[in-house]
């Protein structure tokens, strides 16, 4: 089973005629994702890799029954693109665009939440249910179908962690890159509940990083609502206070958001925390009693 995307996903690509949109559309289609439409204002009637292009999301949804949208438009336009997808009635929006203005994301996330539409990103690598659907920029060849759910604030760490899991013969149910911006859509708590409710996810890997207190809130949520084994890793353990490290949300300030605090929060609720990514597969195997 999977969460969020599967073989029934009918994907449309906003920004399909751009460089990134067209490139990753071909990669997603090659993986087997059911891409039914593209959207690029002023270019309706064209095709990209055999996929019909529409001028608006509304027209694309009406013509093709698309239920999920992925966004590859420039950052200044991404907030409006998210809301256009929500207005058209898709069920899930994944925004890959990086550098989306924070105030635009505040407005867009509130709009989609009000309509009951799920959002992942912005500034995220997307998600994948191995052998069913790839929606994003993840390298599909490293994933293996299985029963480990994964969520991460870091794209590159997602790839590393998945590669380690696959090498250890630990396949994945669904992997979600939530992005590292301070304002984003679905986050740890919502995804933890989805994996908890998924009968084919047996254990969960949570990759966090310094900055904010999302990991601390996740730890408390695990204590109260999650019965499946969870293993965590926190990136940025050697980052100096007051210096932003990579992601816009990865900054330690006012004595909070440190790796030590996040690690302590997880360990306090019984979640083992790997000091190095390479330790994750063995921690999972130990919790699942796999030799």
Q: 145 Cβ partners below 8 Å, 6+ apart?
A: 130, 131, 171, 172, 173
Q: Of 21, 78, 106, give the one whose Cα is nearest residue 11.
A: 21
Burial of 52 (0-12, 13-18, 19+ CB in 10 A): middle
Local structure of residue 147 (DSSP, 8 states): E
**Tokens 């301070």 appear where?**
182
Residues 208, 247, 263, 283: which is the catalytic one?
Answer: 247
Query: How big is the chain by its Cα radius of gyration, in Å?
Result: 19
Strand partners, 92: 68, 118
**Which DSSP string corresponds to 44-82?**
TT-EETTEEEESSHHHHHHHH---EEEE-S-HHHHHHHH
Q: How far is CA 69 from CA 10, 152, 203, 249, in A?
A: 8, 20, 28, 25
Burial of 67 (0-12, 13-18, 19+ CB in 10 A): middle
Is the preceding peptide bond at 122 cis, omega within 30 degrees of 0? yes
Q: Has 24 been annotated as catalytic?
A: no
Active-site residue set: 247
């Amino acid at each position: 089973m999977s969460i969020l995307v599967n073989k029934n996903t009918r994907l449309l690509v906003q920004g399909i005629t751009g460089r990134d949109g067209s490139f990753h559309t071909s990669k997603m289609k090659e993986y087997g994702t059911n891409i039914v439409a593209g959207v690029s204002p002023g270019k309706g009637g064209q095709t990209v890799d055999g996929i019909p292009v529409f001028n608006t999301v509304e027209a694309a949804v009406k013509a093709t029954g698309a239920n999920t949208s992925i966004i590859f438009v420039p950052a200044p336009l991404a907030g409006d693109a998210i809301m256009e997808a929500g207005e058209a009635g898709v069920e899930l929006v994944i925004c890959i665009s990086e550098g989306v203005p924070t105030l635009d994301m505040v407005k867009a996330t509130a709009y989609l939440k009000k309509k009951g539409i799920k959002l992942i990103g912005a500034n995220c690598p997307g998600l994948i249910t191995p052998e069913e659907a790839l929606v994003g920029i993840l390298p599909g060849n490293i994933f293996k179908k299985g029963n480990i759910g994964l969520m991460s604030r870091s794209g590159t760490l997602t790839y590393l962690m998945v590669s380690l899991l696959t090498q250890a013969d630990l396949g994945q149910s669904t992997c979600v890159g939530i992005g590292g911006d301070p304002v984003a859509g679905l986050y740890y708590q919502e995804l933890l509940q989805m994996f908890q409710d998924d009968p084919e996810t047996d254990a969960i890997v949570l990759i966090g990083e310094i900055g904010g207190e999302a990991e601390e809130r996740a730890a408390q949520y695990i204590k109260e609502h999650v019965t499946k084994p969870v293993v965590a890793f926190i990136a940025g353990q050697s980052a100096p206070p007051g210096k932003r490290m990579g992601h816009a949300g990865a900054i330690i300030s006012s004595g909070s958001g440190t790796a030590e605090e996040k690690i302590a929060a997880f360990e306090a609720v019984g979640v083992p925390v790997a000091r190095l990514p390479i330790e994750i597969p063995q921690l999972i195997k130990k919790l699942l009693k796999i030799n």
